[in-house]
Homo-oligomer: A and B are copies of this chain.
Amino acid sequence: MKIVTDEKRLLGPGPCNVSERVRAALARPMLGHLDPDFLEVMETCKDRLRGVFRTRNAATFPVSGTGSAGMEFLLVNFVEPGDRVVVGVNGVFGSRMANLAEKIGAEVHRITAAWGEALPLDGLKAAIDEHKPKFFGLVNGETSTGVYQSVDGLAEAVHAHGGLFALDCVTSLAGMPVEIDARGIDLAFSGTQKCLACPPGLAPVTVSERAREALARRLRPVPSFYLDLNEILAYINGSGGRSYHHTAPISMVVALTEALAEVLEEGLEARWERHAEAARYLTAQFGKRGFTPLVAEGDRLHPLTTLRLPEGFDETAVRKRLLVEHGIEVGAGLGPLAGKIWRIGLMGHNARPEVVDELLAAFDSGTP
């Protein structure tokens, strides 16, 4: 039996295809948001998220918005006007995090690298020691460039100055190692539509005890009600009476809980390896067709491969042909990489050699 039976094969930067099993969960009969049966689903969802994030953080749950709401959740709760913030910027999402911190009124220091390059660890450490940020933000998997950012040794540097380490795991979670506790990450967010292979609509987040202590020391109220962690926790982690905060997106939480079961049944290590293998095969096969990797070998984000296009390649026409004639979506470049690269996502169930073969057959059928 096929896991996915969609008419379209989604090999862009996300959403990816979703299994029949998760789609069936999405369509389950409605439950009240305070119904004991739903609260049990929510508890299971939180437990499974802890498993996927590899954390014991009590405050681990899905924010009721897409991945971008997860980023905003971290910033509105943990950054105040005047706070010193350091953000690594080498693509759209690092840039967005820095801009949002500025909107909030923080003093933002951007550590930059070219789009397609990882940020050097020694440069990041030096910036942390220089600026002693209260909030240090990094993108683990930069969806705009296909770079996987190493975080080795950074938590120690951030914590030495009493700061918090925040990681954007949107495209890395469940596709590559994200070890929240082992790596000393204080704050992380992700999206559901990448390697968790669930529809978009929720932002899994995790918040360490250290971060919650910092939150208790805030000087001003959180400038949001919808994303206010303490307000959310009164519902999400409420023992005894759960107080109303907002109506949880029931169907999406049920679907995510099922998607997380798929991930944990496969096992994280096996899933990481499957994503790595599929990306290697894709890169090799497209290499034979004149595409060269944008990102250096050790820095590649396996769930999303970025490839420089061959000379004179009409990327718009070929992308359109793949979508219209074959129902296959691949992603275009963004910003300075528009027209220069393709972003091919092999995420969740799509991280398989037979999916790459499907793409290659469609690609080759139009090449003279």
Contacts and interface: CB of A to CB of B under 8 A. Distances in A.
Interface stretch (A8-16, A39-47, A175-183, A282-290): A8-16
Given A27-B24, A223-B103, A249-B199, A66 B64 contact: yes
Given A199-B251, A247-B15, A247-B66, A8 B31 contact: yes
Query: Main SS of chain A's interface residues?
Result: loop
Given A103-B221, A223-B223, A30 B17 contact: yes
A23 B23 CA distance: 10
B29 A26 contact: no
Contacts of A252: 199, 201, 249, 251-252
A277 B208 CA distance: 51
A248 interface: yes
A67 interface: yes
A219 B329 CA distance: 41
Nearest to A68: B246
A193 interface: yes
Interface string A49-66: 000000000000000111
A303 B249 CA distance: 20
A27 B225 CA distance: 31
A69 interface: yes
A364 interface: no
Given A27-B27, A103-B225, A223-B223, A323 B35 contact: yes
Contacts of A245: 68
A72 B226 contact: yes
A338 to B, nearest CB: 10
B35 A16 contact: no
Contact of A224 (B34, B66, B72): B72
A96 to B, nearest CB: 7
A250 interface: yes
Given A15-B30, A23-B29, A201-B249, 13 more contacts: A10-B31, A12-B34, A14-B247, A15-B247, A24-B27, A26-B251, A64-B65, A65-B69, A71-B226, A96-B225, A199-B250, A200-B248, A200-B250
In order of increasing CB-CB distance, the 7 nearest A-B pairs are: A201-B249, A6-B29, A27-B27, A68-B246, A199-B251, A23-B27, A200-B247
